[in-house]
Amino acid sequence: MAKEESSSSGFRVVDRRPFSADGTKKEEVLTEEKSGEGPEAADRSAPHELPSDPRGEYDEGSSRFEMLVSYLSTTAMFQLGLIAGPSGERIPADLPNAKRTVDLLAVLQEKTQGNLTASESRLLAEVLYELRMSFVEMQKRQGRKSK
Check which CATH number belongs to the domain holding 66 and give it: 1.20.58
What single letter denotes the amino acid at residue 72? L
Is residue 87's pLDDT more than 60?
yes
In-domain check, residue 101: yes
The pLDDT of residue 91 is: 85
**What range defines the domain where residue 121 resides?**
61-146
- Decide which of 63 and 129 is more confident: 129
In-domain check, residue 9: no
In-domain check, residue 114: yes
Contact predicate 128/105, CB 8 Å: yes
The pLDDT of residue 62 is: 57
In-domain check, residue 99: yes
In-domain check, residue 28: no
- Decide which of 79 and 145 is more confident: 79
Is residue 137's pLDDT more than 90?
yes
Report the first-to-last Cα separation within the chain, whole angstroms: 71
Comparing 39-48, 72-81, 112-121, 134-143, the range with the smallest average pLDDT is: 39-48
Most confident of 44-53, 91-100, 138-147: 91-100
To 10 degrees, the CA torsion angle through 32, 33, 39, 44?
-140
Mean pLDDT of 58-79: 84
Contact predicate 25/18, CB 8 Å: yes
Exposure string of 14-48, with b = 16+ CB inside 10 Å and e = fewer, is eeeeeeeeeeeebeebeebeeeeebeeeeeeeeee
Q: How much of the chain exceeds pLDDT 90, in percent?
A: 46
In-domain check, residue 141: yes
The pLDDT of residue 26 is: 73
* Closest C-alpha among 89, 83, 113, 119 to residue 101: 83
Q: How many CA atoms lie within 13 A of 47 on its CB side?
A: 2
- Decide which of 67 and 56 is more confident: 67
Count: domains in the chain: 1
Is residue 51's pLDDT more than 80?
no
In-domain check, residue 84: yes
In-domain check, residue 111: yes
Could you give the CA distance from residue 78 to residue 76 in angstroms, rounded to a whole number?
Answer: 5
Q: What is the pTM of this model?
A: 0.57
